[in-house]
Chains A and B, each alone.
Chain A
Amino acid sequence: MTAPAVDAARADAGLAIRLEGVSLGYGRHAVLEDLRLDIAPGEVLVIVGPSGSGKSTVLRAIAGLLAPRAGRVLAEGVPVTGPSTDRAMVFQDDALLPWRTVLRNVELPLRIRGVPRRERRTAAESWIARVGLAGCEDRLPRELSGGMRQRVQLARSLAGAPRAVLMDEPFGALDAQTRAGMQRLLLDVLRDTLATVVFVTHDVDEALLLADRVVVLGHRGGHGGIGRVLRVPDPRTPDIDRAGLRARIIEEL
């Protein structure tokens, strides 16, 4: 989509994302200053931080929804100037279009890409089944529970075959049990995809469960910025004691 050098074999591979001295804020108020971060293709990077630390703001900048005040966001070496099909986003809640059925919501990214009707229907149906909602295709979002709506959002974001998935506290509004189920589903789905994942949460355990690397956003000298970047050994492997790492993250927060 961007560089002609990218050959067909790499078309669905994860996106390399780089933040170069990025400063972000709304209006005259800077929330974050001088962010430097390299996100490797295919990795799961989790950004943790307390509420108000600007986690979502970083994600919006990577998505291309918010222009940096200074610095550059690079995707595959090309500066990000706006949103693109390459970088799909999953929002916290209520981002489904309420007037579209489940099927038509999931079809939307394919429709925008100009995929023919029959093909997009097949793709959407298989994604809906993949997130465990087969049979719910014709329901409206208002007829679904919060957890089901987030499943649809996950299916919708992945249906467009993005090279990066940006997730903004996607399970933040769910109860603990539904949340655990969604985390299992996400781990399951991520196993089959090469896409880079940037996941924002305030939940340290969620971060340790999903991440290759954990980035802690914190406050340093008045402005927010990137604290420490911690690698998670043997990521996404169950029954590993991560108490030490957990304590270090909490200390950083």
Chain B
Amino acid sequence: MSTPALDATLGPAAPAVAGADAVTATGRTRTADGLRRWAVRSASLAAVVAVWQWLTTADARVGLRFDRLPSPAEVAAEFGRQLGTRIYYLDLAQSMIRILTGFALAAVAGIALGVLVARSRWAGDVLLPPVEVVRPIPAIALVPIAILVFPTDEQGIVFITFAAAFFPIMVSTRHAVRALPTLWEDAVRTMGGGRAHVLWNVVLPGTLPGVFGGLSVGMGVAWICVISAEMISGEFGVGYRTWHAYTVVDYPAVLVGMASIGVLGWVASATIELLGRRLTRWLPRVDEGVEGGAR
């Protein structure tokens, strides 16, 4: 997430070191501009925390009852305490393992099936009807089935995560394959390339932008579902810990759990986003044109 901004500031600054006064000047203004934007963003976040602190310490009851809500200071203290415990890291690790396993399985299966049903009419006819019927069911509604079918809770939770991420990935892949220009495929075929060559050299790289759209959405949904599944069944994990804190009315711990969920989810989505940008560098860049126009 932060890297494009970093690139924007470093990009012009790097040649500036080599010489040219004009370049140095634009490099400086761009860096200053970048700093200002970061200052605004941080100030916005700080303002929200400040309002929260004020509402809770003043015991405000303005329709909503802020007097019972833990203050940011209390939450921070609880967060500091939890950082010193082993269990906090175990929970994080457990949730990460679950989501990465489920998501990785969903990515492989979703891309494979998406390509298959888009490229083969027969496969589409056989595989799509059951998929289309299962797709509208929210993954979290599969929890009873998961508990029934899978021998361990662990497998059930991974399955829920998989089910959540699978559909957006498969659907995006299918659309991306269908929207692929036939010209590239024709070109590879006239070089003597067979199906495998077309798949490897045209279909997979060509659909990457669309596939990454699906992976981003899939990661978001998978994260929601892994936390929800952990709240229902599970003995570890950030979701479980958060729900457990609620049952013993430990609100500062609930908020620590919520913040951890938020940060981890953001890191997961940002990783996918960053990876997607790295792998689709060849796309005509929109931001270049916008920047050029702005100056």
Contacts and interface: CB of A to CB of B under 8 A. Distances in A.
Nearest to B190: A89
A98 B192 CA distance: 19
7 contacts: A83-B191, A97-B187, A97-B202, A97-B205, A112-B192, A112-B197, A142-B282
A65 interface: yes
A94 B183 contact: yes
Given A95-B184, A112-B197, A88 B190 contact: yes
Nearest to B197: A112
Contacts, number: 68
Nearest to A104: B201
B189 interface: yes
B189 A83 contact: yes
Contacts of A88: 190-191
Interface of B: 181, 183-184, 186-193, 197, 201-202, 205-206, 208, 280-284
Contact of B190 (A83, A96, A140): A83
Interface residues of A, number: 29
A37 to B, nearest CB: 20
Contacts of A85: 191-192
Contacts of B282: 98-100, 140-142
Given A63-B190, A84-B192, A156-B191, 18 more contacts: A64-B189, A65-B186, A65-B190, A85-B191, A89-B187, A89-B190, A94-B183, A95-B184, A95-B186, A97-B187, A98-B282, A99-B280, A108-B188, A108-B191, A112-B188, A112-B192, A140-B282, A160-B192
Contacts of B190: 63-65, 83, 87-89, 166
Contact of A112 (B181, B193, B280, B283): B193
Given A65-B186, A94-B183, A142-B284, A109 B205 contact: no
A58 to B, nearest CB: 15
Contacts of A109: 191-192
A131 to B, nearest CB: 17
A91 interface: yes
Contact of A97 (B184, B189, B283, B284): B184
Interface in A181-202: none
A113 interface: yes
B201 A108 contact: yes
B224 to A, nearest CB: 32
A95 B202 CA distance: 11
B201 A97 contact: yes
A91 B183 contact: yes
B186 A99 contact: no
A108 B191 CA distance: 8
Contacts of B205: 97, 99
Residue among B190, B202, B206, B284 having the largest count of chain A Cβ atoms under 10 Å: B190
Nearest to A86: B192
Contact of A91 (B187, B281, B283): B187
Nearest to B185: A65
Please provide the 7 A-B residue pairs with the shortest distance between their CB atoms, ordered closest to farther.
A85-B192, A109-B191, A89-B190, A99-B282, A83-B189, A95-B187, A99-B205
Interface in A110-153: 112-113, 140-142
A88 B191 CA distance: 6
Contacts of A156: 191
A65 B189 contact: yes
A140 B208 CA distance: 17
A84 B188 CA distance: 10
A156 B190 CA distance: 11
B74 to A, nearest CB: 51
A112 B187 contact: no
Nearest to B189: A83
Nearest to A110: B191
Nearest to A93: B183
Nearest to B187: A95
B278 to A, nearest CB: 12
Nearest to B285: A142
Given A97-B202, A140-B282, A142-B282, A89 B186 contact: yes
Contacts of A160: 191-192
A82 B197 CA distance: 15
B186 A112 contact: no
A99 B284 CA distance: 10
B277 to A, nearest CB: 13
A60 B187 CA distance: 11
